[in-house]
Every structure is written in C-alpha cells, then in structure tokens.
Amino acid sequence: MIEALKEVGVTEVVLAINYRPEVMLNFLKDFEDKLGITITCSQETEPLGTAGPLALARDKLVDGSGEPFFVLNSDVISEYPFAELIKFHKSHGGEATIMVTKVDEPSKYGVVVMEEATGMVEKFVEKPKIFVGNKINAGIYLLNPSVLDRIELKPTSIEKEVFPRIAADAKLFAMVLPGFWMDVGQPRDYITGLRLYLDSLRKRSANRLATGAHIVGNVLVHESAKIGEGCLIGPDVAIGPGCVVEDGVRLSRCTVMRGVRIKKHACISNSIIGWHSTVGQWARIENMTILGEDVHVGDEVYTNGGVVLPHKEIKSSILKPEIVM
C-alpha cells in the first residue's frame, strides 16, 4: 500500500493509531528509508471511530494547496489503482470518491447504490433483504480537504455519518475497483489475501517471485532470507527478511515474518509465523495456527490451529485450536 502511494507522488503517510504507536513506527522505519517517504502518526487518546481521526489529524492533512488526500483502511489489500482513482476524482468535480468492489453475497454487507453512468452515489443500504446492488465499500477513499469541515473531533463513523451526508448533497462518487480485493483483518482472510496478492504479482511483476526446483506455485522470498537444501516451498508462501529455513522444510499457504528460524524437516501450512519465532525440527504447524512474536515451538511438536501469544515457549502439542496465553 505504501509503495503504491509513493508511485503516485505521495510524500507523507499519517497513521491513525490509539495504542503503542512507537511499535508501528519502528516497524515502518525501513519503509521510510527505502522509499524516501515520511511516516508519522496521529495518536488518539480515545477511540474516535473511522472519521474522528481525520479531524484529529487535520493540521497534517491540510497544506493549503487544496489537493485531495487518500484515506485508506490498512486491513484491506488490492492492486491499489491510485492513479486511476485520482483521474476519476478530478473528472467528476465532487467532494469525495470511494472505491467499491463487487461481491457475490451483498446481503452480508452495506451496499453502495450508485448511478452506473456517472458513479454518483445515491444511497447506502445496510445488509439489504432484497437485491439493490452488489457493490460494497472497499475502504479506499480520495477526499477533498472540504470534507474535514463535515467532521467534528468526536467519535464518528465516516461510512454511516459522513458519506451519507455528502451523498445527499450529490457530491459523493464511487469507482469500481478493478482486480482483486480482500479484507485481511482476520487470520484466515489474511492467508486468502496473500494468495490473491501473489496471483496479482504473477501477472504484474512475475520477476519478483521466487523460482527453482524447490518452489511450487507463487512464492515471495525476501532477498536476505536463507533457504536450505531439500526444501519444498509453496504454493502461496511469503518469507520475510532475515529468515532462516533449514534443510528439508515444507511450507505451503503461510506467511513467515521477519527473523524467523524454521529448523530441519518442519512442516507448516495454513498458518502465520510471527516475528523472530522459532519452529523446531520435525514440528508440524497447520490449520490456521497463529504464532505471535518471539514464540518458540519445540522439536516434534504438533499444533492444530489456535493462537499463541508473544514470548511463549511451546513444549507440548496443541491438539485442538486454543489460545495459549
């Protein structure tokens, strides 16, 4: 997401955070240096909903130029067609543009009803009982600074309070998001989002994907990661910076985050391995197991789903999904 913003000329990213902002800022320091972009935060002292943080960050968002700014939900993943969004926003002359995506079961969501020819949003219908459309809010917006005049510094929903008022003034437009879209706020959806992202990467920048006899399907490996002999990796795997994957390891449909060590002949599928964790020899991790930061799984341990909180050592098998505190 940050890389895509940089590509369209964004020079500063402001994170709306209400808990331990230093953790996120430290994590994103590498992106600042690599991309030459400024990343700051606007910290809430109380939860302000999805619109209140914009009022809180007003001084950071308004620079006097009158240029629109992006507002993005950080738990959605797509191809981020920001250049097309800017072009569409400037063409319709409205106050705000939201991106929408098509879904198969609109009754589960809040549906955006819009004019097909112009993109003007007519109304929002929450979980409709009858079919009124199949487009939902994708969590990607481009807003004029004047939108901030509609938002008070208090807990406010941009989706339920601000956007309907802009739509009532015929100044809200929607653009259909091309390509894939996924809300990755839940672990299972994160793994699905990874698959969709890697499929997209195959089409757009296949040279970024790993190749070799030990690779199956789409696999993304950071250049600093080390892969041992006799491994079989893929499909749908992402391996982060500084990881060490020892000999004979099997990985599929999983994310391995920064600094992880996976010891010989371990097998991991449908799981997320947190930063600086260790997976022991012949261990087997599957069924949507989530390891927090600095978790150490012993040799020959089996985990069948569940969540392990940070800084834990797992010495015995987890036979059914549970939360390990």
pLDDT, average across residues 13-22: 84
Taking only the tens place, the pLDDT of each residue in 106-117 is 888 889 999 999
Q: For residues 245 and 252, what is the distance between their CA atoms, to the nearest angstrom?
A: 13
pLDDT value of position 62: 87
Please, which pLDDT band fits residue 105 given cuts at 50, 70 and 90?
Answer: confident
pLDDT value of position 292: 96
Residue 129: beta bridge partners? none
pLDDT, average across residues 36-65: 89
Domains of the chain and CATH, by start: 1-183 (3.90.550.10), 187-323 (2.160.10.10)
Residues 6+ apart with CB under 8 A from 243: 222, 225, 226, 256, 257, 258, 259, 260, 261, 262
pLDDT, average across residues 27-43: 85
Q: For residues 202 and 180, what is the distance between their CA atoms, to the nearest angstrom?
A: 13
Q: Are 267 and 285 a contacting pair, CB within 8 Å?
A: yes
Taking only the tens place, the pLDDT of each residue in 262-296 is 999 999 999 999 999 999 999 999 999 999 999 99
Q: Classify strands 284-291 and 302-308 as parallel, antiparallel or unpaired.
A: parallel
